Amino acid sequence: MSKPLSDHDKKKQISVRGLAGVENVADLKINFNRHLHFTLVKDRNVATKRDYYFALAHTVRDHLVGRWIRTQQSYYEKDPKLGLDMEELQEMEEDAGLGNGGLGRLAACFLDSMASLGLAGYGYGIRYEFGIFNQKIANGWQIEEADDWLRYGNPWEKARPEYMRPVHFYGRTEHHPDGVKWVDTQVVLALPYDTPVPGYRNNVVNTMRLWSAKAPCEFNLKDFNIGGYIQAVLDRNLAENISRVLYPNDNFFEGKELRLKQEYFVVAATLQDIIRRFKASKFGSRDIVRTDFSTLPEKVAIQLNDTHPALAIPELMRVLLDDEKLSWEKAWDICVKTCAYTNHTVLPEALERWPIDLFQTLLPRHLEIIYEINRRHLERVSSLYPGDVDRLRRMSLIEEGPQKRVNMAHMCIVGSHAVNGVARIHSDILKATKIGEDFIRDLDQLQKLREFVNDEAFIRDIAKVKQENKLKFAVHLEEHYKVKINPNSMFDIQVKRIHEYKRQLLNCLHIITFYNRIKKEPNKQWTPRTVMIGGKAAPGYHTAKMIIRLITAIGEVVNNDPVVGDRLKVIFLENYRVTLAEKAIPAADLSEQISTAGTEASGTGNMKFMLNGALTIGTMDGANVEMAEEAGDNNLFIFGMRVEDVDAMDAKGYNASEYYNRLPELKQAMDQIAGGFFSPKQPDLFKDIVNMLMYHDRFKVFADYEAYIKCQEKVSALYKKPKDWTKKVILNIAGSGKFSSDRTISQYAREIWGVEPTLEKLSAPDDLK
Ligand SMILES: *Cc1c(COP(=O)(O)O)cnc(C)c1O
């Protein structure tokens, strides 16, 4: 909202640029004071910083309300001085940490883009009472703390009890001549909360609708006797636990019943909401008796963000068959035309494969429907490939074995008309005065920066912005973590969820190697680096937690070695989340995107760093491939095995010891980890990590070690030539236009949803001018 402040206007008295359109400073003040007085029930003598933040948030929300209502209907600069420090108030805002990593963050970008492109899109999800845990580091270990983000209330949301919907669980099915009934179910209510999603300066405000679980009044009260009443009220928690907490696994499937309940809960509530809206629109117009659903796919597109909402397919079928009494053929045609599926990962451990027994108990009717979908699907496969039994087994929605399971990805593919991945390999600053501000809406215009790659003044400007961001981040780190940082060192950053496939361990091996080289030749002119690694480990992922412990252990040794001084520092960035990303990424010189080729579906962190003026060291994986293409491959530091090399190595067998024995610096680093050099009080602390790397490393860290180290040498050499470095930075920024989520959403709109995005503005509502 507010622009970065120059130093002299920092602290107090700053402009509220985001409130353009508030014609009258006096009005703004009145509204702010009105909220402070009537909403917060405070005056200036007793108001806290949080009270001011809430009063401001309410004032801003009021400003959006007219636009919000108008946008929804249409689907169907002054310098006001408030005497407040906006940056300080911005710090009061809680992250809505309702996702685990890139997938959720991308969904948030997509909502932003749909509003900015004027698309009538809704974002649906669960209003978790506790989002992704807050990460604390204690003695080098990750500690999880509950993310009580709603403790002080949420000024942006509006509860909509009038749109509350029942969601059914358990029970059994009855087959009658006039159709199937799902009976004796337990009901949980889904209460929607709406958050406005404003487009970029176009007066559009879309809706993000998050569902919260509420027990119905009669929950567990049907057969209570005297004395059972209290227990029945206490048991309401059981129903309301559905929206209590986000499962903290990234790229990992854990087949818990509560998780399956969550997935059905959001799907069932959302589909009812979509169908209610469709029926209310003129398109769903009906002759009193029945809605014509055949036009549903023309008016509604349901984009399944990974398989987590895959139950939308059998649920839509259930509604069309059992409630709306359509034939199977008609219902299936509508379902497939309405649904589209985006795949987000290739890691087998991430694929959702729900045990049949769980389904049978929780969603018996859906299981019947899935069996019928599968029967018809396999019948088609058989007629296309007669006698190919192995193909039938591979393509079935139901996996046989000791425990039968439903393969949700297969169901999505069969039940959707479009399937896409998130990067091609996987699916088959600029100065406003130089290129204007149009790039904000059309990121491809960043291409124009190429013209300025030899413009001395521009090079200096870019380098200056980066230096300011680095200083600012260094100050933040020094304030929060009491670490001293050399702002002239290269900021080498790897922030993302901690996962073996993302290979934070390869980064560790480079750090140790660099450390050993400094120790060996302390008088050489080493390029100073501050290596920062951040990210959460899923609480049940032992190896990931040990990786964090190793990073902090390396930091303890390296950061306290006087021989090293400020030429190498290793910092674990605690509690990586969106607000920390917003500070860290603009401060990065080097972005680490070093997953084993073929494992990262796309990555989005990689793009954020590129756009924000960092150079990438990375493998030919995910979107790195397209980044290299857009920026020119000599402007990225690409190293290591390609997908073909990894496959060839899998065929022949990967032998870590071979690298360990051949590469003395790798051997030294591993011997140090294994021998307690970084954990002198507990020499065998990292035995599990060592054992994994040496004997069962699925992600072949050692195979890329040599190429990675050599590539890092090139990085260090280039960093010594600031002008050449910044030229590459400019070419990276100039090539980053393709990675705008606006571009992605325009493409989804045209190719999958069959709608035309628009950059036209809605007119501002009169009542707010
Ligand atoms: C972008 C982002 C991610 C995804 O990062 P990858 O490097 O693509 O895994 C995860 N978490 C946060 C907070 C992000 O902003």
Distance 601 CA to ligand 1 centre (A): 13
Give the C-alpha separation, 143 to 134, whole Å. Answer: 8
Nearest CA to ligand 1 atom 6: 605
Task: Find all residues with CB under 8 Å of 124, minimum gap 6, and list them.
Answer: 208, 209, 210, 211, 266, 269, 270, 273
Nearest CA to ligand 1 atom 1: 605
Output the CA angle 640-644-646, nearest 5 degrees: 60
CA-closest candidate to residue 270, choices 123, 368, 370, 171: 123
CA-closest candidate to residue 535, choices 491, 573, 568: 573
Average pLDDT over residues 315-342: 97
Distance 276 CA to ligand 1 centre (A): 35
Nearest CA to ligand 1 atom 4: 102
Task: Find all residues with CB under 8 Å of 154, minimum gap 6, and list them.
Answer: 94, 193
What proportion of the chain, given as a percentage, has pLDDT over 90?
79
Per-residue model confidence (pLDDT) at position 459: 94
Per-residue model confidence (pLDDT) at position 432: 47
Give the β-pairing of 122-126 and 205-214.
parallel
Other Cβ atoms within 10 Å of 49 Cβ, number: 13
Specify the ligand 1 atom closest to the Cα of 603. Answer: 8
Alpha helices in 482-503 (DSSP H): none
Nearest CA to ligand 1 atom 3: 102
Torsion angle (degrees, nearest 10) of CA 603, 605, 609, 615: -50
Q: Does position 1 have pLDDT exceeding 60, yes or no?
A: no
Distance 105 CA to ligand 1 centre (A): 7
Per-residue model confidence (pLDDT) at position 439: 83
Distance 1 CA to ligand 1 centre (A): 22
- Positions annotated as catalytic residues are 344, 496-497, 502, 604, 608
Least confident of 256-265, 284-293, 326-335, 471-480: 284-293
Q: Does position 15 have pLDDT exceeding 80, yes or no?
A: no
Would you give the distance in Å from CA 260 to the centre of its chain?
A: 20
Distance 720 CA to ligand 1 centre (A): 29
Residue 610's φ and ψ, nearest 5 degrees, are: -60, -50
Give the C-alpha separation, 123 to 270, whole Å. Answer: 10
Nearest CA to ligand 1 atom 8: 603
Other Cβ atoms within 10 Å of 329 Cβ, number: 9
Q: Please report which helix (H) or strand (E) contains residue 355, including its range.
A: strand 353-355
Per-residue model confidence (pLDDT) at position 768: 42
Residue matched to tokens 């980044």 = 627
Specify the ligand 1 atom closest to the Cα of 102. Answer: 4
Burial of residue 488, with CB atoms counted within 10 A of its CB: 0-12 exposed, 13-18 middle, 19 or more buried: exposed
**What's the whole-number average pLDDT of the chain?**
91
Find residue 573's DSSP bridge partners.
534
Give the C-alpha separation, 264 to 97, whole Å. Answer: 21
Residue 70: which pLDDT band, with cuts at 50, 70 and 90?
confident
Specify the ligand 1 atom closest to the Cα of 101. Answer: 10
Catalogue all structural domains in the chain, each as residue range(s) with its CATH number: 7-90 (no CATH), 101-421 (3.40.50.2000), 449-734 (3.40.50.2000)
Who lines ligand 1 at CB under 6 A? 101-102, 105, 496, 576-578, 581, 603-605, 608
Q: Which amino acid is at 756?
A: E
Q: Please report which helix (H) or strand (E) contains residue 304, including its range.
A: strand 302-305
Specify the ligand 1 atom closest to the Cα of 602. Answer: 8
- pLDDT tens for residues 252-288? 999 999 999 999 999 999 999 999 999 988 766 555 5
Q: Please report which helix (H) or strand (E) contains residue 317, including its range.
A: helix 312-318
Task: Find all residues with CB under 8 Å of 752, minimum gap 6, and list them.
Answer: 301, 303, 340, 418, 420
CA distances from 510 to 275, 470, 476, 504, 709 (A): 55, 22, 26, 10, 6
Other Cβ atoms within 10 Å of 709 Cβ, number: 19
- pLDDT tens for residues 428-448? 533 344 777 788 888 988 998
Nearest CA to ligand 1 atom 11: 101
Per-residue model confidence (pLDDT) at position 724: 97
Task: Find all residues with CB under 8 Å of 175, minimum gap 6, and list them.
Answer: none
Per-residue model confidence (pLDDT) at position 285: 58
Burial of residue 24, with CB atoms counted within 10 A of its CB: 0-12 exposed, 13-18 middle, 19 or more buried: exposed
Distance 198 CA to ligand 1 centre (A): 22
Pocket test of ligand 1: the residue of 95, 110, 496, 575 to mutate, having most ligand atoms within 8 Å of its CB, is 496
Residue 756: which pLDDT band, with cuts at 50, 70 and 90?
confident
Q: Does position 135 have pLDDT exceeding 50, yes or no?
A: yes
Per-residue model confidence (pLDDT) at position 132: 97
Per-residue model confidence (pLDDT) at position 425: 80
Distance 580 CA to ligand 1 centre (A): 11
Side-chain-side CA neighbours of residue 415 (13 Å) = 32
- Which token pair is 614? 């960092």
CB-based contact 342:752 (threshold 8 Å): no
Distance 97 CA to ligand 1 centre (A): 12
Distance 581 CA to ligand 1 centre (A): 8
Would you give the distance in Å from CA 557 to the centre of its chain?
A: 33
Residue 403: which pLDDT band, with cuts at 50, 70 and 90?
very high
Residue 289: which pLDDT band, with cuts at 50, 70 and 90?
low
Distance 551 CA to ligand 1 centre (A): 19
Give the C-alpha separation, 255 to 185, whole Å. Answer: 22
Per-residue model confidence (pLDDT) at position 435: 74
Give the C-alpha separation, 457 to 471, whole Å. Answer: 21
Per-residue model confidence (pLDDT) at position 20: 40
- pLDDT tens for residues 96-127? 999 999 999 999 999 999 999 999 999 999 99
Find residue 135's DSSP bridge partners.
144
Distance 432 CA to ligand 1 centre (A): 28
Side-chain-side CA neighbours of residue 127 (13 Å) = 24
Nearest CA to ligand 1 atom 7: 605
- pLDDT tens for residues 695-754? 999 999 999 999 999 999 999 999 999 999 999 999 999 999 999 999 999 999 999 999
Per-residue model confidence (pLDDT) at position 704: 98
Specify the ligand 1 atom closest to the Cα of 578. Answer: 13
What three-state secondary structure class fits 137?
strand
CA-closest candidate to residue 430, choices 405, 449, 404, 408: 449
Residue 767: which pLDDT band, with cuts at 50, 70 and 90?
very low
Per-residue model confidence (pLDDT) at position 8: 36
- Which token pair is 286? 């009906």
Specify the ligand 1 atom closest to the Cα of 580. Answer: 13
CA-closest candidate to residue 124, choices 75, 74, 160, 170: 160
- Which token pair is 525? 């002119």
Distance 603 CA to ligand 1 centre (A): 7
Distance 495 CA to ligand 1 centre (A): 7
Specify the ligand 1 atom closest to the Cα of 593. Answer: 7
- pLDDT tens for residues 141-184? 999 999 999 999 999 999 999 999 999 999 999 999 999 999 99
Task: Find all residues with CB under 8 Å of 193, minimum gap 6, and list them.
Answer: 127, 154, 157, 158, 159, 160, 209, 210, 211, 212
Per-residue model confidence (pLDDT) at position 3: 31
Specify the ligand 1 atom closest to the Cα of 576. Answer: 13
Average pLDDT over residues 577-602: 97
Residue matched to tokens 């001085």 = 81
- Whole-structure pTM value: 0.81
Q: E-strand spans in 389-476? A: 398-399, 405-407, 418-420
Nearest CA to ligand 1 atom 2: 102
CB-based contact 645:654 (threshold 8 Å): no
Per-residue model confidence (pLDDT) at position 229: 85
